[in-house]
Every structure is written in structure tokens, then in C-alpha cells.
Chains A and B, each alone.
Chain A
Amino acid sequence: MPASLQALIQKRVLFFGGKGGVGKTTCASAMALAGSRAGKRVLLVSTDPAHSTSDIFERKIGPEPVELLPKLHGLEIDGAFESQRYVANVKEHIKGLFGPHILKESYRQIDLAASMPGAEEMALFDRIGALIRGEDDRFDLIIFDTAPTGHTLRLIRMPELMEAWIRALSRSRRAMLGIEQDDATDPVMISLSQRLEHLREFRARLLSPRLCAFVLVMVAERLPIEETARAIAQLQDAGVNIGGLVVNRILPETSPDPFLRARHEQEVVYLDEIDRRFASHLKVRVKQLPSDVHGVKTLEHLASVLVTEKALSS
């Protein structure tokens, strides 16, 4: 099997996930660069509240897409910003539909609800959903650099959960309408149906192996291996396609330094374990670089490692 992530460039949505500090952001950025070099219009989205994409590209990235390189945009999602934007949209939407009294009361209710705990997370989820549904047609490939594993798994389960909620609400509303007014033009029902439609599409894309893949980044150490195994089990349980694994920061095989040699010997054991436990998954090995990755130059090297079919793995 060719050990390369080359084929993933043809997808529409990629997620990069893994334990904190294993190099998710670096790998996601390198993959975004590789995609843009292959002619795709790429959007690199960071969903980790502690954004570090801007550090890699050495420039400021905000909550709206910013062009970083030709055919490569970056975006750092911000919950507070998204929830404000969401609320502003809703207010704009209802502005022409109601009289001033109702509007005033509604605005108060809306502001109140939007300040509840969880509103920011939901607004963030809504934005991610819109991106995955392909709402922004400027991009062919959207790469998500995710927050550490637990947070992301929740996110992936969310469309399902939300769908169940909205469906229950629709049912309740429909039961009521059936008695009071036999009317398919009920604005509440229309709003709920539209939500449901969006959530279905979001979920369908997320679970389509043709359109979407999840890449897990890890290093050859005990804890990342265990976390990766758990993440794979949970992702597969959720029905998400695993695109491959990146085994990052592998030490040089020969070193005059006894400390590094000892580390490497231990690493070999873990690498064997990785090959054994994740046998059915595509794996790319990335060697430890002499310096850390920031700036486009070093990223370019990593990009070519990720998508070149010369087997870096055994």
C-alpha cells in the first residue's frame, strides 16, 4: 500500500485530530499547502480555541477567511464571534416580519438565550456545519485542524443529537397544528424543517467516505497510541471514515548519542506496535526535523513528505 495522503486531496473535507502536542496543526497546515499546490482551493480551519495556525504561517488569522498563500485561505473559528454573528443574522431576518413591540420583546429573549452557557459552542458547531455543507463555494477542500480528541468527537456526534432534538420539536409542533390549524405554511414549522434539512446534509457529508476523511496524528509513545486507538474506535462507531494515520517526529535511526539511541530503541518497539494494532489503516511516518516547523519553507518539506508516495514507512 502506498503510504501517502495523496489521495485525500480529492476529498472535500478533512479533519486532523489527535492528542495535544503531537503536531496536528503542523500536519493540517502542511496538508493544506499540499492541496493548494495540487491546484485545489483550500480553506484551513482551526477549531481549537487555542489557535496556533497563525504562528505557523507567521501572520494574523481571524474569524473570517484570510488568504495566506495562493489558493490557500486560513480561518480561526471563534465561538464568541460566531454567536454574535448568529444572533445578528437572526435579528436581521425577523426585522421585517414583525411589529416594533414584538420585535423589542423578541430581541430581549434572543439576547438572553444567546448568553446561556453552550450558546458559543453551538454557534461554532453551526459555522462548522455551514462550512461542511459547502456554503462557501470559494473552496474545494476544507481542512479542519481540530482541538484535542475528546472535544472533536463530541462535535462529530452533535449533528445526530441536534437532529433528534429538532425532529422531536417538529413532531410536537405538527401534532398541535393538526388540531388547531391544518397548515403547512406555519413559519415555525418551516424554520424547523429547514434546520432539519441542513443537519441531515451536514451529517450525510460528514459520514460520506467519498467526501470526508479523518486523519489521526500521533507520536510513537504510549499515551498517544492508546488515545489513537480509542479515537479510531469511537470515530468508526460514529461512522466516520478514517483517512489515515500520521506517525510524527520519528527519531533518526543512527545516532552517536547514547541517549537518542536508547530513545530510538524504545520507539522501534512502539512503531511495531503501531503497525500491528493499526494494520488496516494507512500510515505515514514523518521524521523528526532538526528544527521546529514554522514558516512556509519548513512546511513545504513536510507537505512533500505527507503526499509523496515514496514509502517512508516500511
Chain B
Amino acid sequence: MSIGKNIRDFFHGAAYGAYERELRLQAAELNDLFLLLCYMEIVGLPNPATLYLLPVYPYLLEQFHQWHRRMGMDRSPLGNLPCC
């Protein structure tokens, strides 16, 4: 059982390992774009849809946290956008 899993993991890694980093980077970039679109107002760009985004803010908090960590900032760089 455990051997079967190991073999599967081996082939999975051999086949996709090289792409995974690439995909993760791309996902992160798209993530950032989406965050920017949602938080435009906070960085000073008018966004007519701000009010309609309020219900999704809590879902984005974790993403926002990941973003500022990824950018090498321990704490939220935007004073008016509290995080940690």
C-alpha cells in the first residue's frame, strides 16, 4: 500500500515537478491581480464596485496576508488596510 503510494508519488513528481513551481508562480500572480482589483479603492484608484466586494473581503484576508508575506513584508504595508 505504502509502496504503491511511493511509486505514484515518484512518477507524479517526475512528470509534474518541474511545472509545479511555474504553476504556483502563475497562480500567485493571478491572485495578486485579483486582490488589486478588489482593493483598488484602498490604493487610491476609484472602483465603482467596491460596495459589492464587501461580502468577499473576509475570504480575501488570508490571500492578502499571503501576498504581503510573499512580497517580503512582515506586516501589512497599507496602513488603512489592516492585516497583522
Chain B contact surface mostly: helix
A280 partner residues in chain B, CB cutoff 8 A = none
**Measured CA separation A172–B56 after assembly (Å):** 14
CB distance from A198 to the nearest CB of B (A): 9
Query: Which residue of chain B lies nearest to A173 when distances are taken between CB atoms in the complex?
Result: B34
Instruction: Kindly identify, within residues 104 to 147 of chain A, every residue whose CB is under 8 Å from any CB belonging to chain B.
Output: 105-106, 108-110, 112-114, 116, 118-119, 122-123, 126
Interface string of B30-53 (1 = CB under 8 A from A): 110110011001100011111111
**Measured CA separation A94–B46 after assembly (Å):** 25
- A187 lies within 8 A of chain B by Cβ: yes
User: How many residues of A are in contact with the other chain, CB < 8 A?
Assistant: 42
CB distance from A97 to the nearest CB of B (A): 7
What interface size band does chain B fall in?
Answer: 20 to 34
Total A-B pairs, Cβ < 8 A: 97
Is B37 in contact with A162, judged by CB distance below 8 angstroms? no
A168 contact from B27, B37, B55, B82, Cβ within 8 A: B37
A116 contact from B50, B60, B62, Cβ within 8 A: B50
B83 contact from A105, A180, A195, Cβ within 8 A: A105
B37 contact from A97, A106, A169, A187, Cβ within 8 A: A169
- A103 lies within 8 A of chain B by Cβ: yes
Q: Among A85-93, A235-243, A244-252, A263-271, which stretch is in contact with chain B?
A: A85-93
Interface string of A165-203 (1 = CB under 8 A from B): 110110011011001100000011001100100000000
A110 contact from B48, B49, B57, Cβ within 8 A: B57
Is A98 in contact with B52, judged by CB distance below 8 angstroms? no
- A102 lies within 8 A of chain B by Cβ: yes
- B73 lies within 8 A of chain A by Cβ: no
Known A-B contacts A118-B46, A180-B27; the reply to A109 vs B81 at CB < 8 A is: yes
Q: Residues of B at under 8 Å CB distance from A? A: 23, 26-27, 30-31, 33-34, 37-38, 41-42, 46-62, 80-83
The contact sample of 10 A-B pairs, CB cut-off 8 A, is A90-B54, A112-B80, A112-B81, A113-B41, A116-B50, A118-B50, A169-B38, A172-B37, A176-B27, A192-B56
